[in-house]
Structure 1
């Protein structure tokens, strides 16, 4: 059985909570990602910000992207998972929490992130089905 470490995207880039949404958008574009974990200055994980947060919650509300801080919109972390946890545990936790991204943390440091697409590529079909049912309530 595979582990979180085997299915995660490693080398994850994080964003400081004091960085602007404009900086977050540029970083997402440059990295080709749709979300970034947000941390405090001392490295504590405070949430995740997505490209959707920037567009729907900031742009649509008329916020200034240069002055609005990532920490203002970062969605709180429901939970994280350790890199050596079995993939089945990852699927169950993401499904129970109804999250599409799960940060992988080792010794207090974000070492990767697992997205729903990582699950689709790396876990058994029945586990993907289980995840989809839990998160989206459908087959």
Structure 2
């Protein structure tokens, strides 16, 4: 059974520039079959955008999606985790911060993302995942 974040995280996360338009990012997410991207400049993590963000904050806001910049949709990253941290710590952080995804940083650089689905798939007995899944999230 996996015990560390690195064992279950999605590695090599897709990172995009905050200057990209939301249509380009949406197409990249479709083509890569992913539901979230990190927004970064170089190794500096600025935020995270999900497919839901694209719809709720992007398309539903009106305007021209080809002109809207992804940096304006990004949720602030309220918590990160390290690859050698425990799965229990990841679940605790998700529960405390009411988030469904945690960027995984190593030496200050994003190297992965761990999601509530990753945790549930690995350890469905982790306390609080049901409550977390129903909680209002920030990203």
Q: If the length of structure 1 is used for normalisation, what is the TM-score?
A: 0.90
Alignment of 1:46 onto 2:42: no
The residue that corresponds to 1:12 in the other structure is: 13
Secondary structure of the structure 1 residue equivalent to 2:128: helix
The residue that corresponds to 1:21 in the other structure is: 22
Matches within 5 A, 1:1-139: 2-40=3-41, 42-123=42-123, 125-127=124-126, 129-136=127-134
Query: Any idea what the Cα deviations from partners look like across 1:29-85, whole Å, max 9, x if unmatched?
Result: 011011111112x32111111111111211112121111111101000001100000
- Give the deviation of 1:135 after TM superposition: 4.9
How many residues of Structure 1 are paired with residues of Structure 2 in the alignment?
134
Structure with greater helix share of residues = 1
Contact preservation (8 Å) 2:120, 2:129: no
Moved more, 74-83 or 44-53: 44-53
Coordinate RMSD, CA, aligned: 1.4
- The whole-number CA distance in structure 2 between the counterparts of 1:122 and 1:9 is 13
| Structure 1 unmatched ranges of 5 or more | none
- The whole-number CA distance in structure 2 between the counterparts of 1:43 and 1:105 is 10
- The whole-number CA distance in structure 2 between the counterparts of 1:46 and 1:63 is 23
Secondary structure of the structure 2 residue equivalent to 1:120: helix
- Give the deviation of 1:134 after TM superposition: 4.0
- The whole-number CA distance in structure 2 between the counterparts of 1:56 and 1:121 is 27
